[in-house]
Copies of this chain bind each other. A is one copy, B any other.
């Protein structure tokens, strides 16, 4: 069925398009009579043409969002937050993924600009170092907000998890139970967040007056169960094995859990265990896995809000203020790290 335009309605009512437009947008100076007439005609088959309106207003009320992987559970949560916050303010979200590829990140950001968005939300790919492609967007007067994985090289608002505090809390929780031999399975050096978790681990040890024992720090390159398995086995083979393990990731913790089980060690009685990310499976495992939850949904929400605020500021000709938010990670204590009795050191 063919859609009606303003002109169709105008002809039907016997006025000009301007009048119809005004009637529809509730302008003050409009006679009740014509308003009635317009409304009557309008209900039949009229809807404003979105593109025409947007061209006129020079704003499309759409933002672009780029994540490394849409399917990753963390990003799925972030996207949910982005969409909810954007829709709450009358905007829509176009979604793209970079597949953790620098080249694709460049491609999709360019294409988002070309398709017409009012701003972009970007989580940098692991490969990304140079951010010239994002600076290019800013040159086009498109605000960019970074979240998750960010870069100090870009002058933009950012929203991230407090991985340091998460690592600190996880470790301190173990130490607070009187355990002194607490090990850490850390991730590779590169992604900043795993480094922060390790830093939090060290800070907690220091806060409890304990030295960092290098043999208690195992490292895995890929944060996968197989590597967690190997690291845990290695740790438990030490002459003085740890009483607890803080793993950089749930995947790693799950691998460690398997290794401990195979070694005939009980969790948490023999070894307490804490993971990171709080995957949905944590509470389904046996024993349920303690973990540090990353506020994915909130990160998405706040990034969305910051971006929309900047877009508004740009439209209003106000100065655009950047903001850097660091959201708390939340330790969720479950069976795997909750000892019935806190043994003496």
The B-contacting residues of A in range 262-306, CB under 8 angstroms, are 279, 281, 284-286, 297
Chain B residues whose CB sits within 8 angstroms of the CB of A254 once the complex forms: 281, 284
B94 and A93 contacting across the interface, CB-CB below 8 Å: yes
Answer yes or no: A115 CB below 8 A from chain B CBs: yes
- CB within 8 Å for A3 and B141 given contacts A95-B79, A97-B80: yes
A to B CB contacts below 8 Å, 29 in the list: A1-B139, A47-B113, A48-B114, A49-B116, A50-B60, A50-B116, A52-B55, A61-B115, A70-B76, A70-B83, A71-B77, A71-B79, A73-B76, A75-B76, A80-B97, A83-B96, A84-B97, A87-B108, A87-B111, A92-B112, A93-B94, A94-B95, A95-B95, A225-B284, A254-B281, A257-B286, A261-B286, A279-B281, A281-B281
Chain B residues whose CB sits within 8 angstroms of the CB of A179 once the complex forms: none
Answer yes or no: A153 CB below 8 A from chain B CBs: no
Q: Least Cβ distance of A18 to chain B in Å?
A: 19
Q: Which residues of A come within 8 Å of B, CB atoms? A: 1-3, 47-52, 54-55, 60-62, 69-73, 75-77, 79-80, 83-84, 87, 92-97, 108, 111-116, 139-141, 225, 251, 254-255, 257-258, 261, 279, 281, 284-286, 297
B48, B62, B73: which contacts A73 (Cβ < 8 A)?
A: B73
Assembly CA distance A92 to B50 (angstroms): 16
Assembly CA distance A254 to B283 (angstroms): 11
Chain B residues whose CB sits within 8 angstroms of the CB of A279 once the complex forms: 281
Q: Least Cβ distance of A85 to chain B in Å?
A: 12
Nearest chain-B residue to A70 (Cβ)?
Answer: B80
Chain B residues whose CB sits within 8 angstroms of the CB of A76 once the complex forms: 70-73, 75-76
B51, B84, B284: which contacts A281 (Cβ < 8 A)?
A: B284
Assembly CA distance A286 to B287 (angstroms): 12
Q: Is the interface of A mostly helix, strand, loop or mixed?
A: helix
List 5 A-B pairs, minimum CB-CB distance, nearest first.
A50-B116, A76-B76, A281-B281, A70-B80, A51-B55
Chain B residues whose CB sits within 8 angstroms of the CB of A83 once the complex forms: 70, 95-97
A95 and B93 contacting across the interface, CB-CB below 8 Å: yes
Assembly CA distance A75 to B79 (angstroms): 12
Additional pairs, 11, CB under 8 Å, beyond known A73-B73, A80-B97? A48-B114, A50-B116, A55-B55, A70-B83, A71-B77, A72-B76, A93-B94, A93-B95, A251-B284, A257-B286, A281-B281
